[in-house]
Structure 1
Amino acid sequence: MRHAIVIGNTDGIGLGLTGRLLADGWAVTGLSRRSAAVEHDRYVHIVADVTAPDYPAELARALTAAGRVDLCVYAAGVGELLDLDDLGAQTRAIEVNLLGVARTVEVVVPRLLAAGGGHLIGLSSLADTLITPDAPGYAASKAGMSSYLIGLGAVLRPRGVAVTVVRFGFVDTKMAKGQVKPMMIPAERAVDVLMRCVRRRPAVVAYPRRMAWLIAAAAPAVRVRARLAGR
């Protein structure tokens, strides 16, 4: 039986993906800061915070209990709009979105290599190409995540371990911040995209594609404005 670890599955995309994997016959272990509303004989849940000192040990124990793991999905993520009275929120975005995935890689990748294969998926964002004054910690953390996982994947794929970076735009979850949310997609459609990634194991997926093209075209101008504003 195929076994997946889903990190960050209390709600939103992670929760939807957990249900879809179970429906598809997978066994799933979920890790998140709170309990997940999932009851299934092929599901195990572990309460763990990716920023806590004991997170790597908790994750290692979960992997050992699961036995062979075929898939690990890092769906944990936070992001807040910039508030100069609470810069700690920007730091936390970097801790969860970037350092959390790096700590996960430390534990998971050696086991996938030892098993001779597997698949790691990280949920990034189309914001990874932007320099934005609205949520600089979020954009920076996603830029780091995408860069790290794409580079790592280039090394791991020839050794049988696939790494996929999924760059979503606005998804209708609590993570969607701001008054304007163009081309926002429902969480279920995001799960559809992830399930295709599970089957095909691409290196990078950007969705919605039209929004990815628009952001790619606008990114140079955004960087220029940011530099000019800093003078």
Structure 2
Amino acid sequence: MDYPPGVQNALVIGNTDGIGLALTRRLLAGGWVVTGVSRRPAVLDHEGYAHLTADVTAADFGAALEGVGDVDLCVYAAGVGEMLDLADLGAQTRAIEVNLVGAARAVEVVVPRMVAAGRGHFIGLSSLSDVMVSPEAPGYAASKAGLSAYLLSLSAAVRPHGVAVSTIRFGFVDTKMAKGAVKPMMITVERAVDVVLGCVRTRAVVVSFPRRMAAAAMVLRPLLRVQARLRKS
């Protein structure tokens, strides 16, 4: 696997399972030095790996990242999403805190350093649900819509400084996040990591995968908005 020259130090946030863990392993196998961040202790033992235990929803999460050294690549892979329970809307709030606010806190620390260095790449793992109206998981959809919009706008601001910010919009990936009875076009975790590493190479602003599902989401978006209005009437 070929990587951009000079990129050696990666920070992977949310890496004790799923895409984050698989990505960490692939980066280490490719010779990267990786710092992982998660609420749980490290599950990896590798000479090129260090682990930081921190909660992305904590007010001091940004401060916890201050001790991390040079970061050429930061991938925000932390994410949660629960189906709607009107008796427990706190779960929807938590989705927004983890998926959006946590990412913003990471950006707040990492991106200014990249701008000062004149190089670096920040990748946020978003979702094709960022264009959907989702009565089943409104917090998740809202958090991903916010994440995609924030990173897309930030990308335009930092590109002139030599820094790339990318948004990867996945459909269903075979992880604990894939909930619901129907999961069309679901991909494996390793295929998702292939997509992430492809983005590392190309530094694309937006990657939507699978492409057919991304097209379907755009077609379904107005229909779901109409359905949501009809539910209110």
TM-score in same-fold range (> 0.5): yes
Rounded Cα–Cα distance in structure 1 between residues aligned with 2:165 and 2:57 = 22
- Secondary structure of the residue that 2:121 maps to in structure 1? strand
Partner of 1:17: 23
Partner of 1:88: 90
Rounded Cα–Cα distance in structure 2 between residues aligned with 1:99 and 1:170 = 22
Rounded Cα–Cα distance in structure 1 between residues aligned with 2:56 and 2:137 = 21
Rounded Cα–Cα distance in structure 2 between residues aligned with 1:119 and 1:198 = 8
Rounded Cα–Cα distance in structure 1 between residues aligned with 2:144 and 2:74 = 18
- Secondary structure of the residue that 1:61 maps to in structure 2? coil
Q: CA deviation at 1:188?
A: 0.4
TM-score (norm 2): 0.96
Q: Of 26, 42, 52, which aligns to 2:48?
A: 42
Rounded Cα–Cα distance in structure 2 between residues aligned with 1:228 and 1:160 = 47
Q: Of 26, 30, 38, which aligns to 2:36?
A: 30
Partner of 1:54: 60
Rounded Cα–Cα distance in structure 1 between residues aligned with 2:100 and 2:223 = 26
Rounded Cα–Cα distance in structure 2 between residues aligned with 1:224 and 1:180 = 21
Partner of 1:4: 10
Partner amino acid, structure 2, of 1:27: V
- Secondary structure of the residue that 1:134 maps to in structure 2? coil
Q: Of 116, 124, 141, which aligns to 2:126?
A: 124
Question: For residues 87-166 of structure 1, what are the structure 2 equivalents within 5 Å?
Answer: 87-166=89-168
Q: CA deviation at 1:135?
A: 0.1
Displacement over 4 Å in runs of 4+: none
Partner of 1:186: 188
Q: CA deviation at 1:36?
A: 2.9
Equivalent residues of 1:11, 1:36 under 8 A apart:
no
Q: CA deviation at 1:97?
A: 0.5
Rounded Cα–Cα distance in structure 2 between residues aligned with 1:139 and 1:36 = 29
Partner amino acid, structure 2, of 1:33: R
Partner of 1:221: 223
Q: CA deviation at 1:160?
A: 0.5
Equivalent residues of 1:168, 1:207 under 8 A apart:
yes
Rounded Cα–Cα distance in structure 2 between residues aligned with 1:230 and 1:24 = 52
- What's the CA shift string for 1:183-210, capped at 9, x where partnerless? 1001000000001111110000000001
- Secondary structure of the residue that 2:74 maps to in structure 1? strand
Q: CA deviation at 1:85?
A: 1.2
Superposition RMSD in Å: 0.8
- Secondary structure of the residue that 2:85 maps to in structure 1? coil
Rounded Cα–Cα distance in structure 2 between residues aligned with 1:226 and 1:16 = 37
Unaligned runs of 5+ in 2: 1-5
Rounded Cα–Cα distance in structure 2 between residues aligned with 1:165 and 1:131 = 20
Q: CA deviation at 1:116?
A: 0.9
Rounded Cα–Cα distance in structure 2 between residues aligned with 1:224 and 1:151 = 28
TM-score (norm 1): 0.97
- Secondary structure of the residue that 1:53 maps to in structure 2? coil
Rounded Cα–Cα distance in structure 2 between residues aligned with 1:186 and 1:205 = 17
Q: CA deviation at 1:69?
A: 1.2
Alignment length (residue pairs)? 227
